[in-house]
Chains A and B, each alone.
Chain A
């Protein structure tokens, strides 16, 4: 079973397909859960503390805005952990403020810089593309460690 980083990190489709085909999806929910369900009064309600931008320094330079570094403290550990990645390039809904936009660019850059297999896709617009989309993900996941031959 390989750990597969997903982009968009909140994608229901990718998360489901990766788990369905026997691998572990690394999605944003895992990091969010770790913070909000950890008991503590340090920084309620979301337990995002001033420490997060400091942790983000591991993946982004100090000149990079704290919003990007804070976000990287969520996504960075998952990129480090990832053994493969699937990126959907036309996920327009992941567009947000400058912090989100620059974090998205940095995530894609770090994933591509890392020496792991990456599958680049776009969302299917019709059923024919859907068939090829699912087949491509299945084929990619089968080539990873622990995938079905």
Chain B
């Protein structure tokens, strides 16, 4: 499944909804019910590798489209970062149905390393002053 395959499938079922193939995927613009219909139909083609999110700007908007601005589009850095690790999410989605129900997940969580103690900070300040 390539992005252009997906675009062709989207055009087939668009029924008047605007479909635009962009530098980072497809943009589907229309009434909410129509967009939901197309998105669920496209997602069914490859559920664990097709990711969807809302977008604020309309397609080709000169305020955001990099065709007019040049360089990377604002917000692209976030996509670039997440796309770099999205294969891990795809793996998680594929593994989800085979997971025993009730098994506790152990996701990566922020470390509980304690911050600098106030008393220790005070000692540091005092040692600098003396």
Q: Which residues of A contact B (CB under 8 A)?
A: 8, 10-13, 15-17, 19, 25, 27-33, 36-37, 45-46, 89-94, 120-127, 129-139
Docked complex: B70-86 residues within 8 A CB-CB of A: 75, 77-79, 81-83, 85-86
Name A121's closest neighbour in chain B (CB-CB).
B107
Q: Is B31 interfacial (CB-CB < 8 Å)?
A: no
Known contacts A16-B51, A16-B52, A138-B96: does B78 contact A93 (CB below 8 Å)?
yes
Measured CB to CB, the closest approach of chain A to B90, in angstroms, equals: 8
CA distance A32 to B82 in the complex (A): 21
Q: Which residues of B contact A (CB under 8 A)?
A: 51-58, 61, 63, 75, 77-79, 81-83, 85-93, 95-96, 99, 103, 105-110
Pick from B53, B87, B88: contact of A15, CB below 8 A.
Answer: B53
Which residues of chain A come closer than 8 Å to B108, judged between CB atoms? 121-125, 129, 132-133
A-B contact pairs, 26 of them (CB 8 A): A11-B78, A11-B82, A12-B51, A12-B79, A16-B51, A27-B53, A27-B54, A28-B56, A29-B54, A32-B56, A33-B56, A37-B58, A45-B63, A93-B81, A120-B110, A121-B109, A124-B88, A124-B89, A124-B107, A125-B88, A127-B88, A127-B91, A130-B87, A131-B99, A133-B88, A133-B105
Measured CB to CB, the closest approach of chain A to B129, in angstroms, equals: 29
Name A130's closest neighbour in chain B (CB-CB).
B88
Which residues of chain A come closer than 8 Å to B92, judged between CB atoms? 124, 127, 130-135
> In the complex, are the beta carbons of A13 and B51 less than 8 A apart?
yes
> In the complex, are the beta carbons of A19 and B88 less than 8 A apart?
no
Pick from B55, B81, B109: contact of A29, CB below 8 A.
Answer: B55
CA distance A11 to B53 in the complex (A): 8
> In the complex, are the beta carbons of A93 and B54 less than 8 A apart?
no
